């Protein structure tokens, strides 16, 4: 557990990242997409082992966020592929944890398990 982290009885983790209190679920996903910031994404990506997010990774993150904010849900893999023009295999390889545990998490989207 990080020094700046508190854990609730539900397993939610509260952390201070980039000067802001952010609540994550027990799998590390943002509880509120509104808590996301580029600075938080950069900090979390370094914790995942990504030294610096490259432009392709940022395109994926921004596409995920825009789609989610405009549609109220994350894009399906086919929508992600069509929107960005890259294969699902290429998209999966861009992030540790693939699209679900990597890109979606860094984009501040809620846990796919809690999405309808």
Q: Give residue 6's pLDDT.
A: 67
User: Is 38 a member of any domain?
Assistant: yes
User: Is 115 a member of any domain?
Assistant: no
pLDDT tens digits for 9-57? 567 889 999 889 999 999 999 999 999 999 999 999 999 999 999 999 9
Residue 115 among the catalytic residues: yes
pLDDT tens digits for 72-83? 999 999 999 999
Instruction: Give the CATH number, domain containing residue 79.
Output: 1.10.10.370
Total domain count, the chain: 1
User: Is 102 a member of any domain?
Assistant: yes
User: Is 116 a member of any domain?
Assistant: no
Rounded Cα distance, 4 and 17, in Å: 8
User: Is 28 a member of any domain?
Assistant: yes
Taking each helix axis from N to C end, the angle separating 55-71 and 77-84, rounded to the nearest 10 degrees, works out to 120
Which residue among 39, 107, 115, 116 is the active-site one?
A: 115
Domain around 32: 5-110
């Amino acid at each position: 557990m990080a020094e700046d982290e508190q854990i609730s009885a539900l397993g939610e983790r509260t952390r201070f990242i980039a000067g802001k209190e952010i609540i994550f679920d027990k799998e590390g996903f943002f509880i509120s997409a509104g808590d996301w910031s580029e600075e938080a994404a950069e900090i979390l990506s370094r914790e995942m082992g990504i030294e610096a997010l490259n432009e392709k990774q940022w395109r994926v993150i921004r596409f995920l966020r825009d789609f989610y904010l405009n549609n109220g849900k994350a894009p399906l893999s086919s929508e992600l592929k069509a929107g960005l023009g890259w294969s699902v295999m290429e998209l999966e390889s861009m992030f540790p944890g693939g699209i679900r545990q990597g890109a979606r998490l860094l984009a501040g989207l809620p846990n796919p398990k809690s999405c309808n």
